[in-house]
Amino acid sequence: MASTQPIATPVFRAAPDGAPAPSNAPASAQRLLQLARETLAIEAQALHDMAARLDVRFADAVLRMLACRGRVVVSGMGKSGHVGRKIAATLASTGTPALFMHPGEASHGDLGMITSADVLLAISNSGESEELSAILPLIKRMGVPLLAMTGRPDSNLGRHADVLLDTSVAKEACPHNLAPTASTTAQLAMGDALAVALLDARGFKAEDFARSHPGGALGRKLLTLVTDVMRPAEQAPRVGLQASLPELMREISAKGLGATAVVDGNDVPVGIFTDGDLRRLIERGADLHALTAAQVMHPAPHTVRPQALAVEAAERMEAHRITSVLVVDEAGRLCGALNSHDLMRAKVI
């Protein structure tokens, strides 16, 4: 039988002011919050200092990336490598072709990833990474521009760089000033700054971002067309102008849209009638058998084209507080229908 005893929760006990908690004692909530705030403050200060010393070299790096006919190859070891992978991914998703190359693998064949049309962005806080240093002479021999992101401008990497981006920090957030924390934050932020400057210079728009993220929410909103999610012509409810109210009701029930288009002899929608309209007629005590579609419809129904963005149809429906919209072709003929459930299933809304 399973135990029914309640699960014990940890009890936080504050340590005396200024006294570190014993290594075998649970950390106090006060100490945890203090360390978190100190970490954020140190890293925020590192970014503030880096922003203050940015100079024309940053613009030089951006211009070289813009002029690159190939790709931006990002490389780094250890934690700098992890940051480099993220920078490469950010560049690639914002209009700058980029890839990550592991410097350790570069000496064993992966250097073939780089061509003379590329630019190398090398990342190393110390600037003395053996793996990066081993490939620098080959990079220079190929004539590949070398952009260096380092915390030590006077390092081997810094001296070889065509453009140096200074990501030095006064200290790491680690209490022992050892674990890469503030330095990797500075590298990541510098990478974001490069990506943002590049996308602006390229005129990169939200639509461009969506094209490289078709599986994401933004991609669905900006790339999904009405024709992708609408109900086709044969499922679009319609009746003629002289249709009786019972015919209207049967069409609404049969097609399950909660409404029906009223079309003229050319299949052009001239009105719409909804199940809400039917309820209001019943409440007024109207003679349902004596009325025709032309008498009860709402004229000039809202319509969209098949090639319109689905998000535009959603915005129109929201603006006019309607749940359905008719889809018409270039000649104005009914070719489909769309309601809010269709848009929700497609995750457009």
- Residues 126/150, Cβ–Cβ less than 8 Å: yes
- List, for residues 9-42, the tens digit of each pLDDT value: 444 454 455 555 555 556 799 999 999 999 999 9
- Residues 313/324, Cβ–Cβ less than 8 Å: no
Domain 29-204, CATH number (from 3.30.70.270, 3.40.50.720, 3.40.50.10490, 3.30.830.10): 3.40.50.10490
Q: What is the pLDDT of residue 25?
A: 54
Q: What is the pLDDT of residue 7?
A: 47
Q: Domain residue spans in the chain?
A: 29-204, 226-345
Q: What is the pLDDT of residue 329?
A: 95
Q: What is the pLDDT of residue 26?
A: 65
Q: What is the pLDDT of residue 110?
A: 84
How many Å is the maximal CA-CA distance in the chain? 93
Spatial separation of the C-alpha atoms in residues 332 and 347, rounded to whole Å: 28
- List, for residues 143-163, the tens digit of each pLDDT value: 999 999 999 999 999 999 999
Return all residues near 227 (Cβ < 8 A) that are at least 6 apart: 306, 307, 327, 336
Q: What is the pLDDT of residue 346?
A: 80
> What confidence category does residue 106 fall into, taking pLDDT thresholds of 50, 70 and 90?
confident
In this prediction, what percent of the chain has a pLDDT beyond 90?
Answer: 64
Return all residues near 125 (Cβ < 8 A) that are at least 6 apart: 80, 150, 151, 152, 167, 180, 183, 184, 187
- List, for residues 289-341, the tens digit of each pLDDT value: 889 999 999 999 999 999 998 888 988 889 999 989 999 999 999 999 999 88
> What confidence category does residue 2 fall into, taking pLDDT thresholds of 50, 70 and 90?
very low
Spatial separation of the C-alpha atoms in residues 327 and 229, rounded to whole Å: 11
- Residues 307/201, Cβ–Cβ less than 8 Å: no
Evaluate if residue 216 carries a pLDDT over 80: no
Return all residues near 256 (Cβ < 8 A) that are at least 6 apart: none
In this prediction, what percent of the chain has a pLDDT beyond 70?
Answer: 87
If you average pLDDT over residues 41-48, what whole number do you get? Answer: 97
- Cα dist from 215 to 68, 91, 228, 229, whole Å: 28, 18, 15, 16
Short-list 170, 146, 169, CA closest to 159: 146
- 121-135, 209-223, 239-253: segment of lowest average pLDDT: 209-223
Q: What is the pLDDT of residue 93?
A: 84
Check: CATH 3.90.480.20 for 226-345? Answer: no
Mean pLDDT across the chain: 88
Spatial separation of the C-alpha atoms in residues 252 and 47, rounded to whole Å: 61
